[in-house]
C-alpha cells in the first residue's frame, strides 16, 4: 500500500481522483456501485508487481471524484469523455480496460466509441451490454410492481433512497457487500413486497471481520460515502434509459476480449439472459479467453483476489505475447 499514489486533477469539467501504481503497459480498472477505487486494492499491487502500470479511478459520482446533481451528467457520453480525458492526462494512447457493473459498461462504451484507446477488454462478471428492444427501466419497474426490486426502488423513489442510504452508510455498505458475496443469496430480497426500502430488504450480514473484509477495509468505504453520499451512484441508475438510447444499434466490440466470471454470481445468472457465456461471440468479435470459476460471488475481486489476479495476469500475458488463448 505504501506504493499506491493518489492523484487529483480537473478532468472533463469535474474534480477526478485516482490511484496509481507500477510502470509498464497501462491497465485501467473501473469500479461499480457502491464501490470506489478501493475495490481493486488486491489487483493494483499484484498487477503492478507483474510489470504493469495500474490506474484505478473513482468514477464520477463516487469516492473522491465530483458528484454532479444533474442526471444527464451520468450519460455514457460523459463517462466516456471522462475516461478519454484521464488517458490524455496520463499521457497514454490506450489501456487494457476492465471493470465491474457500471465500470464494465463504461469500459465497453469506451471500446465502442474509441476503440483506438482500448488495447483489450477483460470482462468481469458482466459479459456484455445487453441492449434489449425496450428501455431497461421499463422491465425493472415491471418487476418492481410484483416484488421488491432495488433498481425500481432507486428510480421510483430516488430522493427517499438517497436520504435513507446517506443516513446509514455503514449499515448499507456492509449489507450490500455481504448480499453480493458468495456467502449470501441476493435473490432473497425479492421475497419482500413493493414499497420496501433497500435497507430493510437486505439481509443482516454477519459481524466483521469476514474472510475477505476487515473493519478497516469497510471503514475506507464508509469514510468516502459518508462524505460523498450515495446520490451519484443512484444517478447512474436514473440514466439507464438515456444510456440505452445512446447504445442502441451497436454491433460487436472489435478489440481483444477476455472474460472472467464466477458460477455463484447473481448478476451473471439473472441479468444477462440465458447462457450469457455462450453468447459472448455474438457481442465480441475477438474473444481470446474465457474462465468461469466456482469461487466467490459477485464481488470476486475482493472475495477471491488470488483467482482474479491469476486470471488477469494470464489474460495480460496472452495479449502481450500476441497469441490467442
Q: Are strands 14-21 and 53-57 parallel, antiparallel or unpaired?
A: antiparallel
Given 58, 82, 101, 109, the catalytic residue: 101
Residue 224 burial class via C-beta count within 10 angstroms: exposed 0-12, middle 13-18, buried 19 and up: buried
Q: Are strands 5-11 and 26-30 parallel, antiparallel or unpaired?
A: unpaired
Whether 298 is catalytic is yes
Whether 284 is catalytic is no
Angle at 325 between CA 319 and CA 101, to 5 degrees: 70
Alpha helices in the chain (DSSP H): 41-49, 76-90, 102-113, 136-144, 150-156, 158-167, 169-180, 198-201, 215-228, 231-238, 240-247, 266-270, 280-283, 300-303, 305-321
Q: Would you give the DSSP letter of residue 8?
A: E
Given 17, 31, 272, 298, the catalytic residue: 298
Active site residues: 101, 298
Amino acid at each position: 500500500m505504501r506504493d499506491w499514489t493518489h492523484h487529483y486533477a480537473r478532468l472533463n469539467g469535474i474534480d477526478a481522483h485516482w490511484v496509481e501504481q507500477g510502470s509498464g503497459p497501462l491497465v485501467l480498472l473501473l469500479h461499480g456501485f457502491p464501490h470506489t477505487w478501493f475495490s481493486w486494492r488486491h489487483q493494483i499491487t499484484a498487477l503492478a508487481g507483474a510489470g504493469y502500470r495500474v490506474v484505478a479511478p473513482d468514477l464520477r459520482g463516487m469516492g473522491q471524484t465530483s458528484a454532479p446533481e444533474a442526471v444527464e451528467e451520468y450519460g455514457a457520453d460523459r463517462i466516456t469523455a471522462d475516461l478519454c480525458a484521464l488517458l490524455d492526462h496520463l499521457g497514454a494512447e490506450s489501456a487494457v480496460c476492465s471493470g465491474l457493473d457500471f465500470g464494465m459498461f463504461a469500459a465497453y462504451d469506451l471500446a465502442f466509441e474509441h476503440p483506438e484507446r482500448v488495447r483489450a477488454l477483460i470482462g468481469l462478471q458482466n459479459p456484455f451490454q445487453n441492449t434489449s428492444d425496450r428501455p431497461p427501466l421499463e422491465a425493472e419497474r415491471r418487476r418492481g410492481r410484483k416484488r421488491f426490486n432495488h433498481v425500481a426502488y432507486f428510480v421510483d423513489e430516488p430522493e427517499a433512497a438517497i436520504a435513507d442510504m446517506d443516513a446509514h452508510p455503514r449499515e448499507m455498505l456492509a449489507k450490500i457487500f455481504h448480499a453480493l458475496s458468495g456467502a449470501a443469496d441476493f435473490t432473497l430480497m425479492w421475497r419482500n413486497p413493493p414499497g420496501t426500502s433497500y435497507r430493510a430488504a437486505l439481509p443482516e450480514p454477519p459481524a466483521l471481520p469476514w474472510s475477505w473484509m476487515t473493519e478497516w477495509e469497510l471503514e475506507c468505504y464508509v469514510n468516502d460515502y459518508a462524505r460523498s453520499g450515495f446520490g451519484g451512484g443512484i444517478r447512474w441508475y436514473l440514466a439507464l434509459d438515456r444510456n440505452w438510447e445512446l447504445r442502441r444499434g451497436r454491433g460487436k466490440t472489435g478489440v481483444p476480449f477476455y472474460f472472467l466470471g464466477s458460477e455463484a454470481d447473481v448478476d451473471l445468472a439473472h441479468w444477462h439472459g440465458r447462457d450469457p457465456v455462450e453468447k459472448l461471440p455474438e457481442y465480441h468479435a475477438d474473444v481470446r479467453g474465457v474462465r468461469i470459476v466456482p469461487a466467490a460471488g459477485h464481488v470476486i475481486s475482493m472475495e477471491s483476489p488470488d483467482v482474479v489476479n491469476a486470471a488477469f495476469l494470464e489474460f495480460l500475458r496472452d495479449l502481450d505475447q500476441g497469441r490467442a488463448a
